[in-house]
Amino acid sequence: MALSRAQLSTVQVVSAGNTTPVATVANNKKIFVKSIMAHNKSGIVTATAQVYIVPNGGAVSESTQMFNVTVDANETVFIEPAYPITIAATGDTIQCGAASTSVNFFITGDKEA
């Protein structure tokens, strides 16, 4: 299995109260998420950021939520699981959400070539 080593997303801005897909499996080419960065660009408000692993046809919910982190104003939280998160089926997604203020997300890892 050949891997393409690169960023899995560009910086994704998720506005308060929203959730956005930031990485999606295409053509059954597995994605291996090594790290997720969440940056609170607000200079005043503390942010709450969520990360969901949503299977194809599924929805963002408590049962698909993997991380819920607090990000202080102008700070970045780095989430690095001990083992890469693997999503494998076409249409499976990593989705990120923001509660009280906009949060920038960036995901790194590998994908099958």
Q: Please give the Cα distance from 32 to 55 (Å, whole number).
A: 15
What are the CA-CA distances from residue 65 to residues 6, 44, 49 (Å)?
25, 26, 11
Q: Please give the Cα distance from 31 to 106 (Å, whole number).
A: 14
- The answer as to whether 109 is a domain residue is no
> How many domains would you assign to the chain?
1
> pLDDT tens digits, residue range 53-89?
999 999 999 999 999 999 999 999 999 999 999 999 9
pTM: 0.91
- Domain residues for the domain of 89 are 15-102
- The answer as to whether 80 is a domain residue is yes
- The answer as to whether 110 is a domain residue is no
- The answer as to whether 38 is a domain residue is yes
- The answer as to whether 86 is a domain residue is yes
Q: Please give the Cα distance from 51 to 62 (Å, whole number).
A: 11
**pLDDT higher than threshold 80 for residue 102:** yes
Q: CATH number of the domain that 98 lies in?
A: 2.60.290
- The answer as to whether 92 is a domain residue is yes
Q: Sorting pLDDT into bands at 50, 70 and 90, what band is 1?
A: low
Which residues, other chains included, contact 67 with Cβ-Cβ below 8 Å and sequence gap of 6+?
36, 49, 50, 51, 79
Q: Sorting pLDDT into bands at 50, 70 and 90, what band is 3?
A: low
- The answer as to whether 10 is a domain residue is no
Q: Which residue has the tokens 């005043």?
A: 44
- The answer as to whether 108 is a domain residue is no
Mean pLDDT of the chain: 92
